[in-house]
Amino acid sequence: MSKERARRRAAREAQLERERAVRRRRVARRERRRAVMRRLTPRWPSRRAGRLARHTRGERAAIVGLTGVALLGIWVFVDSLALRLALVALLLLGLPAIVVLALDRRS
């Protein structure tokens, strides 16, 4: 009786080992394929580069939207062309400082 159980256990273990070997070969083949594809596919530059990359898409949209509203307000409510141009220039020059003060993550 114990010899029969040992023989069946050995057969089960041999079958499990064959299945593990097949799985290892499949996984190794898949990893080799992925490595080849990684080497062959071109690398795109990181989208998170530059000055605006520090901000999320929503923050960038808010910066552009509020700047547009400010520009529209200047052009609607200010009558003098010289004053309009001066305020637009002041807004565009001061915009980076305003963004840093409003959205700085260090504090």
Q: What is the pLDDT of residue 46?
A: 62
Whole-number mean pLDDT of the chain?
88
Place of tokens 């499990």: 16
> Residue 43 — φ and ψ, nearest 5°?
-90, 125
Model confidence at 106: pLDDT above 80: no
How far are the Cα atoms of 14, 38, 40, 49 from residue 45, in angstroms, in the given order?
A: 50, 15, 16, 8
* Mean pLDDT value of segment 46-66: 76
Contact 67, 95 (CB under 8 A): yes
Percent of residues, the chain, with pLDDT higher than 90: 62
Its pTM stands at: 0.49
Model confidence at 47: pLDDT above 70: no
Model confidence at 52: pLDDT above 60: no
Extract the tokens encoding 93. 């020059």
User: Does the CA dihedral 81-86-92-97 come out positive or negative?
Assistant: negative
